């Protein structure tokens, strides 16, 4: 008998099979009847009567609110006037539920054929709410989930979105994340869907186990991996979280490492990452098989290109028979042979290494086969992506032209020159494409322009200049023609400057660069009295400079310059003047001699060699500059000056950059020397210290005059009480500069992990050596007589220093001066007062006007090197570029001022 109601949650009703006609139904509790005869081997299948289709007299929908009845019926195959069976009714229920529009479906009226489809619609989503998410913001989650307001709510969609959110957290390494969905019912069949998120801690790599390694320690192998264990040593690393892709990458890194060490049979048997029960950490276990170590067997070259001599090529290779096998060396050799072929015009030379492994002798014989290739010519050079930069700005940096024979070396040089412009993306590369014929190649320069205009307003603090304010505007690719226009204003406690500049790198489209600068610079020199910084002289420089450059070859450039400047050097009259005249006792003879207004007309020339791969951040190549300047083509200052600068960079592998730099200079005055002073003015000399010589304070290296004050009475009854006032707080230290200097530095830049690289951290270690020297010993400001006893023997203080007597002051005519008691007035009259000896009036008995004694020493004028070692960090911080150096001075001279920590930081606002 058919059931009168079909429901979505019940199994489809079926007609029970008819009982066997010969077997009477057993009574409850009665024993089973015995068979009259043995049962057959296989019972015949019981036939199921086929249900006859019945007509649908009527068909209607009940419970629809948003949906039209016709829409509901469209999801079924039931139609009024057609027939139905139990199977067709069940299928209709399945089809309606599959639409995901309905929460429940019933079909009644099966007995009469008047079918009624009773439905309960799925609610509409009013809002989707996320609670507890701090590490992932709503906008990031909403991009991944499917549920959204005004959509139909289904439990299937909720489960799918829960899985998506958990996957998002797992990508961040949060495997303990849990998402609990909840539904809040509202009126009009609406719901709010709430995802309650428990983010949990970031799952770190607690431990990395390696099984099977015998040659290399676990620590050595862990160091080769990108994944790091969570510890204080890797606090700044982003690689301490578990990443499945990184796990596969580490397996490749291990294999790569072993192959470079000669273990050609090395393999990773398994790599398993196990999540701890608390889901906070992972334990990774590698099982490896190292295998034996191989050496290179015979290394040969087999070239199908007739221009190449196989034996000479093999001799020039870096790998030799008997060396330990190294897969990286094989790759480098393939690249070396490809570049060699490219240098001869074979752009598409096919170099294939052939490995012949001898497992008994543990050797790996190598044959590098260079396939037959045609000499290649450049069909054309395509430049794309430059929306602002003119084509000619890029094309003029190419060292090859259309129609030339292809040359790998010149193409690489062109790539380096374009990179050095700084106009385009990092690591720009020139692509090579096949041309219209086998012997034709197309060079494609697909550039991605950077913003080349810079407007900066910055403020900061440095150990050198104290508080700094700076405003600058610069366009490095003005009008897309490669020109540079700049203007800047700098202000600090001790220096101020305004500068306007313009540079045309290709004047009138010729290979001549021309630039000019207008400047005004105000600089306050200073010394230290203890920890207080005291201004000595002020120098105001106003002028302009013109610079022209002419390339002689690919790497050599001749540069000329002309500078006209006016320097006005002054001293504070209230601090360093007496009666309107610079007082050497207050300022020092050397500073009084520097006061004045002078014009310098200077012409100079430099010869420059530059093969750096980048002028912005070089990693290989070298640069050398030798220059000479002559001042005296007009003006009042006359000298000749020579300078040398050099730098060489090596990429030593694995991201390490080693560099050696050096510089030096000498200046010779062409003016007549004055007695007791150097003919080169103090404002024209070289100075050395912070920031160029790390480990020393500003102007902390080289010749200087130190003035040490004395206290006590050298003629006190019972003996002198005179003593030196020692300590930095009481010593006046004036740096005088030098006529010659040199400075060298060796530095190794150390790569960090991906996380530190993303932060812009670039640490380095360095050692520096240099010196500043060569000026004439300045005459002492004043000579003090040494006290003697009654026998005429010189006296000394308790600390061993000579006992100095005060010196009586004199006027311009060398007449002794006296103090008038009670007035403080100074007069040449020993009795009375007057401005001259023949004009003394009065009867006062005057006392001698004396100058208190002090020691004045000249130190630091030696060519012996000062040496410092240390480490530093460049950081592109959120506050702007930051440089911190910690340097320890190993060797210094008397008077040098060292400094352990220096830094410089600024920020934009």
Identify the pLDDT of residue 654: 75
Spatial separation of the C-alpha atoms in residues 904 and 694, rounded to whole Å: 13
Paired tokens of 190: 């609406």
Task: Identify the H or E element spanning 72.
Answer: helix 69-74
Q: Do the beta carbons of residue 816 and residue 668 sit within 8 Å?
A: no
Identify the pLDDT of residue 233: 56
Each residue's pLDDT tens digit, 415-473: 888 888 878 877 788 888 888 888 888 999 888 887 777 666 655 555 445 666 777 78
Of 22-26, 111-115, 426-430, which one has max mean pLDDT? 111-115
Identify the pLDDT of residue 801: 84
Q: How many C-beta neighbours within 10 Å does residue 792 have?
A: 6
Q: Do the beta carbons of residue 863 and residue 880 sit within 8 Å?
A: no
Outline where 344-463 has alpha helix (H): 391-395, 408-421
∠ CA 832-834-836, nearest 5°, is: 125
Identify the residue with better confidence: 152 or 35.
Answer: 152
Of 51-60, 354-363, 577-586, which one has max mean pLDDT? 354-363
Which of the four pLDDT bands, split at 50, 70 and 90, describes residue 527? Answer: low
Identify the pLDDT of residue 31: 39
Spatial separation of the C-alpha atoms in residues 762 and 875, rounded to whole Å: 6
Each residue's pLDDT tens digit, 287-317: 999 999 999 999 999 988 887 888 888 888 8
Residue 394 backbone class (left: φ over 0; alpha: ψ -120 to 50; beta: rest): alpha
Secondary structure (3-state) at 622: strand
Mean pLDDT for 603-608 is: 96
Q: What is the DSSP letter of 270?
A: E
Spatial separation of the C-alpha atoms in residues 767 and 258, rounded to whole Å: 33
Each residue's pLDDT tens digit, 777-795: 888 888 888 888 888 899 8
Which of the four pLDDT bands, split at 50, 70 and 90, describes residue 45? Answer: low
∠ CA 680-685-690, nearest 5°, is: 165
List of residues 6+ apart from 478 with CB closer than 8 A: 484, 485
Spatial separation of the C-alpha atoms in residues 267 and 255, rounded to whole Å: 7
Mean pLDDT for 766-772 is: 97
Which of the four pLDDT bands, split at 50, 70 and 90, describes residue 257? Answer: very high
53 Cα distance to chain centroid: 79
Q: What is the CA radius of gyration of the chain?
A: 45
Spatial separation of the C-alpha atoms in residues 663 and 640, rounded to whole Å: 17
Q: Do the beta carbons of residue 567 and residue 595 sit within 8 Å?
A: no
Q: Do the beta carbons of residue 118 and residue 67 sit within 8 Å?
A: no
Spatial separation of the C-alpha atoms in residues 230 and 284, rounded to whole Å: 13
- Total-model pTM: 0.62
Each residue's pLDDT tens digit, 155-201: 888 999 999 998 888 877 788 888 999 988 888 888 899 999 988 87
Identify the pLDDT of residue 461: 54
369, pLDDT greater than 70: yes
Q: How many C-beta neighbours within 10 Å does residue 673 have?
A: 11
Each residue's pLDDT tens digit, 860-871: 999 999 999 999
- Beta strand residue intervals within 594-638, DSSP E: 596-610, 621-635
Paired tokens of 601: 């007309």
Q: Report the share of the chain in percent with pLDDT over 70.
A: 87
Identify the residue with better confidence: 902 or 262.
Answer: 262
Identify the pLDDT of residue 523: 78
Spatial separation of the C-alpha atoms in residues 403 and 380, rounded to whole Å: 7
- Which of 254-268, 714-728, 781-795, 891-905 has the weakest average pLDDT? 714-728
Each residue's pLDDT tens digit, 691-707: 889 999 888 999 999 88
Please state, rounded to an integer, the average pLDDT across all residues of the chain: 83
Q: Do the beta carbons of residue 774 and residue 737 sit within 8 Å?
A: no
Each residue's pLDDT tens digit, 786-845: 888 888 899 888 888 888 999 888 877 788 989 998 887 889 999 999 888 888 998 899
Distances (CA, A) of 422 to 247, 449, 614, 619, 760: 36, 9, 9, 15, 18
Secondary structure (3-state) at 729: helix
Distances (CA, A) of 851 to 709, 724, 803: 12, 16, 15
Peptide bond into 691 cis (omega under 30): yes
List of residues 6+ apart from 411 with CB closer than 8 A: 342, 399, 400, 430, 432, 443
Place of tokens 């395509």: 382
Identify the pLDDT of residue 908: 37
What's the helix, strand, coil split of the chain in %, to 5? 15, 45, 40
Q: Report the share of the chain in percent with pLDDT over 90.
A: 29
List of residues 6+ apart from 564 with CB closer than 8 A: 543, 544, 545, 599, 600, 601, 602, 635
- Which of 61-65, 480-484, 612-616, 728-732 has the weakest average pLDDT? 728-732
Burial of residue 834, with CB atoms counted within 10 A of its CB: 0-12 exposed, 13-18 middle, 19 or more buried: middle
Spatial separation of the C-alpha atoms in residues 533 and 524, rounded to whole Å: 11
Q: Do the beta carbons of residue 805 and residue 716 sit within 8 Å?
A: no
Identify the pLDDT of residue 525: 67
């Amino acid at each position: 008998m058919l059931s009168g109601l079909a429901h979505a949650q019940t199994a489809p009703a079926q007609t029970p099979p008819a009982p066997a006609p010969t077997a009477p139904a057993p009574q409850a509790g009665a024993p089973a009847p015995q068979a009259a005869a043995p049962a057959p081997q296989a019972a015949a299948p019981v036939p199921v009567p086929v249900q006859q289709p019945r007509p649908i007299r009527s068909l209607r929908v009940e419970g629809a609110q948003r949906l039209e009845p016709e829409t509901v019926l469209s999801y079924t195959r039931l139609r009024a006037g057609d027939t139905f069976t139990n199977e067709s009714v069940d299928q209709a229920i399945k089809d309606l539920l599959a639409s995901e529009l309905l929460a429940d479906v019933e079909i009644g009226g099966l007995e009469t054929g008047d079918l009624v489809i009773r439905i309960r619609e799925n609610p509409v989503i009013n809002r989707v709410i996320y609670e507890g998410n701090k590490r992932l913001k709503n906008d990031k989650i909403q991009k991944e989930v499917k549920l959204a307001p005004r959509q139909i709510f289904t439990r299937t969609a909720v489960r799918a979105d829960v899985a998506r959110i958990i996957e998002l957290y797992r990508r961040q390494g949060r495997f303990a994340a849990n998402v609990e969905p909840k539904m809040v019912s509202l009126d009009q069949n609406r719901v709010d869907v709430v995802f309650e998120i428990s983010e949990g801690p970031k799952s770190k790599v607690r431990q990395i186990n390696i099984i099977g390694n015998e040659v290399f320690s676990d620590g050595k192998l862990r160091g080769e991996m990108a994944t790091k264990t969570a510890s204080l040593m890797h606090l700044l690393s982003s690689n301490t979280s578990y990443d499945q892709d990184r796990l596969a990458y580490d397996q490749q890194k291990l294999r790569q490492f072993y192959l470079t060490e000669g273990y050609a049979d090395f393999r990773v048997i398994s790599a398993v990452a196990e999540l701890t029960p608390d889901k906070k950490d992972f334990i990774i276990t590698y099982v490896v098989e190292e295998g034996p170590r191989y050496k290179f067997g015979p290394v040969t070259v087999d070239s199908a290109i007739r221009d190449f001599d196989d034996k000479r090529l093999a001799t020039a290779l870096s790998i030799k028979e008997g060396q330990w096998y190294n897969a990286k060396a094989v790759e480098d050799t393939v690249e070396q042979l490809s570049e060699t072929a490219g240098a001869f015009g074979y752009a598409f030379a096919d170099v294939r290494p052939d490995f012949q492994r001898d497992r008994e002798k543990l050797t790996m014989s190598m044959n590098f086969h260079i396939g037959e290739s045609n000499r290649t010519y450049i069909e054309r050079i395509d430049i794309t992506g430059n929306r602002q930069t003119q084509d000619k700005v890029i094309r003029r940096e190419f060292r090859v032209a259309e129609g030339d024979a292809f040359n790998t070396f010149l193409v690489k040089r062109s790539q380096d020159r374009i990179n050095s412009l700084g106009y385009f993306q990092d690591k720009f590369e020139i692509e090579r494409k096949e041309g219209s014929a086998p012997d034709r190649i197309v060079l494609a320069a697909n550039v991605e322009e950077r913003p080349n205009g810079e407007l900066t307003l910055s403020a900061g603090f440095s150990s050198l200049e104290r508080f700094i304010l700076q405003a600058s505007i610069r366009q490095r690719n003005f009008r897309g023609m490669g020109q540079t226009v700049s203007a800047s204003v700098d202000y600090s406690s001790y220096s101020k400057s305004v500068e306007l500049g313009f540079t045309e790198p290709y004047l009138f489209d010729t290979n001549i660069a021309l630039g000019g600068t207008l400047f005004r610079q105000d600089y306050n020199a200073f010394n230290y009295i203890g920890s207080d910084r005291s201004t000595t002289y002020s120098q105001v420089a106003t002028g302009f400079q013109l610079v022209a450059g002419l390339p002689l070859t690919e790497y050599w450039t001749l540069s000329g310059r002309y500078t006209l400047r006016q320097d006005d050097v002054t001293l504070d009259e209230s601090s360093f003047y007496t009666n309107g005249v610079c007082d050497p006792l207050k300022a020092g003879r050397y500073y009084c001699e520097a006061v004045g207004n002078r014009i310098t007309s200077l012409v100079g020339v430099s010869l420059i060699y530059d093969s750096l791969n980048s002028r912005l951040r070089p990693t290989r190549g070298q640069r050398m500059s030798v220059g000479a300047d002559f001042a005296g083509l007009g003006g009042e200052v006359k000298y000749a000056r020579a300078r040398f600068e050099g730098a060489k960079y090596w990429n030593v592998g694995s991201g390490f950059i080693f560099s050696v730099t050096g510089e030096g200079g000498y200046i010779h005055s062409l003016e007549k020397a004055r007695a007791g002073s150097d003919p080169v003015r103090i404002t024209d000399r070289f100075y050395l210290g912070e920031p160029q010589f790390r480990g020393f304070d500003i102007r902390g290296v080289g010749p200087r005059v130190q003035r040490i004050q004395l206290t006590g009475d050298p003629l006190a009854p019972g003996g002198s009480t005179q003593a030196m006032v020692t300590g930095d707080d009481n010593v006046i230290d004036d740096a005088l500069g030098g006529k010659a200097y040199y400075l060298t530095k060796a530095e190794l830049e150390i790569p960090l992990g991906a996380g530190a690289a993303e932060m812009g951290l670039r640490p380095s270690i360095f050692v520096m050596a240099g010196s500043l020297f060569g000026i004439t010993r300045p005459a002492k400001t004043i000579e003090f007589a040494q006290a003697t006893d009654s026998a005429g023997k010189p006296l000394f203080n308790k600390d061993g220093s000579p006992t100095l007597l005060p010196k009586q002051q004199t006027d311009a005519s060398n007449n002794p001066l006296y103090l008038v008691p009670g007035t403080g007035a100074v007069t040449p009259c020993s009795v009375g007062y007057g401005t001259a000896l023949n004009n003394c009036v009065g009867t006062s008995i005057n006392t001698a006007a004396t100058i208190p004694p002090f020691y004045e020493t000249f130190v630091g004028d030696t060519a012996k090197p000062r040496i410092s070692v240390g480490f530093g960090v460049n950081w592109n911080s959120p506050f702007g570029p930051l440089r911190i150096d910690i340097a320890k001075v190993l060797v210094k001279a008397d008077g040098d001022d060292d400094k352990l920590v220096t830094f410089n930081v600024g920020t934009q606002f």
